[in-house]
Chain A
Amino acid sequence: MNISQAFKMAWKSIWGKKGRSILTMLGIIIGIAAVMTIVSAMNGYTEKTMEQYNAMGSNKLQVYIYSYVYDEEGNNIGKDYFPDLYNYCKTLDSISGVTPQGWLSATVVYGTKNSANMSWETDEQGNVTSAPPDLYLGSDQYAVCNNLTIAKGRDLTVLDCERYNQVCVMGSQAAKTFFGTVDPVGKTMQVNGQNFDVVGVYASRLSEDLASMSTADNFIVFPYTATRLLGGERPTQFIVKVRSAGQLAEAASRVRGFLKGLVNPSIGDSQVYSNDEWQQQMNEQMAMISLVLGGIAAISLLVGGIGIMNIMLVTVTERTREIGIRRAIGAQRRSIVTQFLIEAAMLCGIGGIIGILIGTGGSYLTGQLLFHMTIYPALWITACAFALSVLLGIGFGIYPAAKAAKLQPVEALRAE
């Protein structure tokens, strides 16, 4: 007997008992759908997060320098360590840039546009049409550290920082928000009532689909020394951009060592983290969540598989006489095994396909509802899910099939 015949027979048997077949498949359908949804949603989320994260620039060190010197009114009057850090980083080949990472809380006004009145608005496609921009503090190397390139005008300079120049550079989304199609370069904005000139605009960092749902380009960068004029905390957090991932550890230990010598532990403190570690931590966390959720889904698959085995055993018992007839007219044991194995595998395979369809919808919905992302299962996940369901069928079909093949023709023929 050839395989295509066996497939035809299996299909006949499954189609002949549609209701029972569907009920039998239900366990597999639910299991596969759950596994698909969980694995692909987690996978998609991790991937998109990484993409966004990489767009911001990887190979970074997070540096924290705290100073605990205060005046009578409680203002921090500790030393500004940034110039020292800046100069030290310049001496290291492995480091391409360093910048403060700080936030300015201020109101930005241009004409009728006022950041204090801006609310989150999106159009039907989910594109951000309006949002209050983030106000960042940075050095002349802010762009290097954040994978930004100038699209129009010029970048911040060392002099801007040293001379407390009242200038700023805008992210592409912020420029769109405030100026629309007008060229912002040369325009003057009011920041907490002070005049700041827009000297440049950065190019968007994000691919089209990410840009539509992210506000990552919605920012304005000021020289970090602008805090003297505008008030607010001096940045305590800094970004050090390392040239390659391989140099990350070495750069981290050098910077760590330098800061140990620089900051007197009785009046301050410093910490250096590698972003790699953060990335690794996040990966580990996601893997752990995937494992736990996947484990739960796997249990439902196991239950589904046992259901298949149960029904196949019933089928073998019901069809004992048929098996006897087939054996009497010349079916070999192998043919009987093949027939029942293929039937079980096909049952699970069909259940798997239905489960994959539901799982695809599930991961799309999960992406939309939980992560606000468009997530479709990767091809390898779909392929694995299908292979898994067929393997389950074969795995749980072996026992019933072997039982069928072991029947003696004479006894099988005697069955009612």
Chain B
Amino acid sequence: MTAMGKHLIELRDVYKIYGEGLESEVRALDGVSLTIDAGEFVAVVGQSGSGKSTMMNVLGCLDIPTRGDYILDGTDVRELTDRELSQIRNREIGFIFQQYNLIPSLSVLENVELPLIYQGVRADDRHDLAVKALERVGLADRIKHKPAQMSGGQQQRVAIARAIAASPPIIMADEPTGALDSHTGHEVLTFLQQLNREGSTIILITHDNGIAATARRVVRLQDGKIVEDYRQEVDWF
């Protein structure tokens, strides 16, 4: 249960408009309202240009909507300072990106430790938590490697370990399988499903209807508007 109500995430009539008032104005989000509860597995689906990346940026507190309210866990995100937004990204959300977005100069362990460093976790605990996260993705024996020494699938698993190291309630995955072959992609999806069974809220951004078909809820975006929003039975839950 959250402070203000039952929803973990609530978007109310949210707009994200680039170049507002100009002829070239782009409405990446055009009046979106959406609620997501804790423990859901939501796939946000859409073609490129549908606004799904903007949606992810807004939901992930990486970007602030032009208009409308975003209530995250009872807090109006629009009223937060940059510092508070950083803290939310740090503690509440784990990001998984299509391009893994690991820092190449840091080792696997250091990459996974990064969110814990910014949280101010003590060095010993940090190391233990990071190793535990890497154990979960099956890479505990690679902690000294550099990202460039690993395959794409392994790098994405490191990124997952980084996302779950601080045990955030929400995992946001932006095309997490986009750069992977179908087999490793399937592994990543299975892992996300596992996390969801354990209670994490998963928000998966994808253009792939096949992947969306494995989600418990599908939100379809088109031209910045939600055109479909339905729940479905899945075999894994």
Contact surface of A with B, Cβ cutoff 8 Å: 1-2, 5, 12-13, 16, 321-322, 324-335, 408-410, 413
- Specify which of B83, B103, B106, B119 lies most central, judged by the most chain A CB atoms within 10 Å of its CB: B103
Given contacts A332-B83, A410-B62, contact A326 B101 (CB under 8 A): no
Closest to B102 in A: A325
B78 CB to nearest A CB, Å: 16
B61 CB to nearest A CB, Å: 9
Cα of A16 to Cα of B119 in the assembled complex, Å = 25
Q: Are B95 and A328 in contact (CB under 8 A)?
A: yes
Contact surface of B with A, Cβ cutoff 8 Å: 57, 60, 62-63, 82-83, 86-87, 89-91, 95, 97, 101-103, 105-106, 114-115, 117-120, 162
Q: Are B105 and A12 in contact (CB under 8 A)?
A: yes
Q: Are B101 and A1 in contact (CB under 8 A)?
A: no
Cα of A13 to Cα of B89 in the assembled complex, Å = 25
Cα of A335 to Cα of B117 in the assembled complex, Å = 10
Q: Are A330 and B118 in contact (CB under 8 A)?
A: yes
| A329-B90, A331-B118, A413-B101 given; 14 more Cβ-contact pairs under 8 Å | A1-B117, A12-B105, A321-B101, A322-B105, A324-B101, A325-B101, A325-B103, A326-B103, A326-B118, A327-B89, A328-B89, A334-B83, A335-B118, A413-B62
B147 CB to nearest A CB, Å: 11
A387 CB to nearest B CB, Å: 29
Cα of A277 to Cα of B60 in the assembled complex, Å = 75
Q: Are A330 and B91 in contact (CB under 8 A)?
A: yes
- Measured between beta carbons, the chain B residues less than 8 angstroms from A328 are 60, 62, 89, 95, 101
* Cβ contacts A to B, 9 pairs, < 8 Å: A5-B117, A12-B106, A16-B105, A321-B101, A330-B87, A330-B115, A333-B86, A409-B62, A413-B62
Cα of A372 to Cα of B102 in the assembled complex, Å = 59
Given contacts A13-B105, A413-B101, contact A329 B83 (CB under 8 A): no
The SS class assigned to the B binding surface is helix
Cα of A328 to Cα of B60 in the assembled complex, Å = 8
Closest to B60 in A: A328
- Specify which of B95, B102, B114 lies most central, judged by the most chain A CB atoms within 10 Å of its CB: B114
Q: Are B117 and A332 in contact (CB under 8 A)?
A: no
Given contacts A1-B118, A1-B120, A2-B120, contact A332 B101 (CB under 8 A): no
- Specify which of A1, A328, A413 lies most central, judged by the most chain B CB atoms within 10 Å of its CB: A328
- Measured between beta carbons, the chain A residues less than 8 angstroms from B89 are 327-330
Among the listed A326, A329, A331, A410, which residue makes an inter-chain contact with B57, where contact means beta carbons less than 8 Å apart?
A410
- Specify which of A5, A324, A332 lies most central, judged by the most chain B CB atoms within 10 Å of its CB: A332
Cα of A334 to Cα of B62 in the assembled complex, Å = 17
Cα of A329 to Cα of B95 in the assembled complex, Å = 7
Cα of A396 to Cα of B60 in the assembled complex, Å = 34
Q: Are B119 and A330 in contact (CB under 8 A)?
A: yes
- Measured between beta carbons, the chain A residues less than 8 angstroms from B97 are 413
B128 CB to nearest A CB, Å: 17
- Measured between beta carbons, the chain B residues less than 8 angstroms from A322 are 103, 105
Cα of A268 to Cα of B60 in the assembled complex, Å = 98
Q: Are B101 and A410 in contact (CB under 8 A)?
A: no
- Measured between beta carbons, the chain B residues less than 8 angstroms from A329 are 89-90, 95, 114-115, 118, 162
- Measured between beta carbons, the chain A residues less than 8 angstroms from B57 are 410
B129 CB to nearest A CB, Å: 14
A316 CB to nearest B CB, Å: 15
Cα of A413 to Cα of B172 in the assembled complex, Å = 15
- Measured between beta carbons, the chain A residues less than 8 angstroms from B117 are 1, 5
Cα of A409 to Cα of B91 in the assembled complex, Å = 16
- Measured between beta carbons, the chain A residues less than 8 angstroms from B63 are 408-410
Cα of A12 to Cα of B113 in the assembled complex, Å = 15
Closest to B165 in A: A329
Cα of A208 to Cα of B223 in the assembled complex, Å = 91
Cα of A5 to Cα of B117 in the assembled complex, Å = 8
- Measured between beta carbons, the chain A residues less than 8 angstroms from B103 are 322, 325-326
Closest to B83 in A: A332
Cα of A413 to Cα of B102 in the assembled complex, Å = 11
Given contacts A1-B117, A1-B118, contact A332 B62 (CB under 8 A): no
Cα of A408 to Cα of B57 in the assembled complex, Å = 11
- Measured between beta carbons, the chain B residues less than 8 angstroms from A324 are 101
- Measured between beta carbons, the chain A residues less than 8 angstroms from B119 are 330
B17 CB to nearest A CB, Å: 15
